[in-house]
Amino acid sequence: MSATKVFGHRGWMGSFPENTLLGFKEAINAGVDGLELDVHMTKDGEIVVIHDDALDRTTDGTGLIRDLTLAEIKKYSAGINYSTFPNYDGNQWIAERVPTLQEVLEFLAPYDTELNIELKTFMYPYKGMEAKVLSVVEQYGNGRKVIYSSFHLPSILKIKALNSSAKIAWILNQCIPQPKDYLETLQLEALHLYKGVLLIHAHQYKDIVEQLRVWTANENDEIKQLLDLNVNTIITDHPEKALFFRSERNSFV
Ligand code: G3P
Ligand code: MG
């Protein structure tokens, strides 16, 4: 029985600006097994790492990603909006930019961190985005373990059709009957399940806990319950907590 992995949600969004190289670096330094990030596609067809379909919440810019070129997006700070965070240090955070997927993969090259790329295709049907994401990973992934996930099932099925060895996972925020049947029929590597669903319906998922990544578990008691259930992975805004609780258990074994 292997230990539950800890993935930093949007990097380490509890403590650092989400979906930035700074957050990814800090999460790796803290010891995460993997990183989760979100991607959209720009007007000029580049894959950028950002959660929302617009710049407004996480940067000092405004406008929809699909209406902006990469050069336009790069003008804005992806760290300045987080000045209330205790770690905020001014200049370094202000200098953060919305990274491209290529930049993240290049940054990750020295590390063996797993990478979960969430395609935000349920918000807008970016034409050709799945093929573009695969091509960026093929060019810059260095053989890294990449998991492609989405709430939008057709997107991950397209990924699988384009590359049969791709690892795909369906993100769910509701309970599904006979989850094993979905895993097998859709050739899913895992389900990415909302924590509330699992914690209420744990019995329905007991046979497939090794194929469950659970998001976004941030409270101490939730993290501990998920460690008890021995799910494959906990995706959390607070990887430091999950890593601490996991190491605490290991020291008792
Ligand atoms: O991939 C799990 C989780 O990231 C899905 O929710 O909105 O944080 O991307 P969201
Ligand atoms: Mg996400």
DSSP class per residue in 186-215: TT-SEEEEEHHHHHHSGGGGGGGGGGEEEE
**Which protein residue has the closest C-alpha to ligand 1 atom 10?**
51
- The rounded distance, in Å, linking the Cα atoms of 91 and 37 is 24
Q: Name the nearest CA neighbour of 169 among 137, 136, 143, 145.
A: 145
- The rounded distance, in Å, linking the Cα atoms of 28 and 31 is 5
pLDDT of residue 253: 57
**Which protein residue has the closest C-alpha to ligand 1 atom 2?**
215
pLDDT of residue 1: 61
- The token pair that represents 80 in the structure block: 């300045």
pLDDT of residue 250: 81
pLDDT digit string, tens, across residues 133-156? 999 999 999 999 999 999 999 999
Among the residues of the chain, which ranges form H helices?
21-30, 70-73, 91-95, 101-108, 129-140, 153-162, 179-185, 195-200, 220-229, 239-250
Strands (DSSP E) along 18-153, which ranges? 34-41, 47-49, 114-119, 146-150
pLDDT digit string, tens, across residues 154-192? 999 999 999 999 999 999 999 999 999 999 999 999 999
For residue 83, which amino acid is it? S
pLDDT of residue 252: 63
Query: Can you tell me which atom of ligand 1 is nearest the CA of 149?
Result: 1
pLDDT of residue 112: 96
**Residues framing ligand 1 (Cβ under 6 A):** 9, 36, 38, 51, 118, 149, 171, 192, 215-216, 235
pLDDT of residue 123: 85
Residue 217 is classified by DSSP as: -
Contacts of 93 (CB under 8 A, 6+ apart): 17, 22, 77, 79, 80, 82, 83
Over residues 203-208, mean pLDDT? 96
User: Mind telling me the catalytic residues?
Assistant: 9, 51
Quote the ligand 2 centre to 118 CA distance (angstroms): 5
Helix (H, G, I), strand (E, B) or coil at 54: strand
Percent of the chain with pLDDT over 90: 97
Over residues 208-233, mean pLDDT? 98
Q: Nearest-5° angle of CA 206, CA 119, CA 23?
A: 90
pLDDT of residue 83: 97
Ligand nearest to the Cα of 171, by number: 1
pLDDT digit string, tens, across residues 23-73? 999 999 999 999 999 999 999 999 999 999 999 999 999 999 999 999 999
**Which protein residue has the closest C-alpha to ligand 1 atom 3?**
215
Quote the ligand 2 centre to 151 CA distance (angstroms): 9
Q: Where are the domains of the chain?
A: 5-250
Residue whose entry in the numeric block shows the structure tokens 């925020």: 173
C-alpha distance from residue 121 to each of 137, 157, 158 (Å): 17, 12, 12
Quote the ligand 1 centre to 240 CA distance (angstroms): 19
What angle do the packed helices 129-140 and 101-108 form, to 10 degrees?
20
How many other C-beta atoms lie within 10 A of the C-beta of residue 61?
Answer: 17
Quote the ligand 2 centre to 196 CA distance (angstroms): 16
Query: Can you tell me which atom of ligand 1 is nearest the CA of 118?
Result: 1
Query: Mean pLDDT over all residues of the chain?
Result: 97
CATH of domain 5-250: 3.20.20.190
CB 46 within 8 A of CB 38: no
- The rounded distance, in Å, linking the Cα atoms of 112 and 98 is 23
Contacts of 81 (CB under 8 A, 6+ apart): 17, 57, 58, 59, 60
Over residues 200-204, mean pLDDT? 95
Quote the ligand 2 centre to 251 CA distance (angstroms): 31
Q: Where on the phi/psi map is residue 17: left (φ > 0), alpha (ψ -120 to 50), or beta?
A: beta
pLDDT of residue 238: 98
Ligand nearest to the Cα of 37, by number: 2
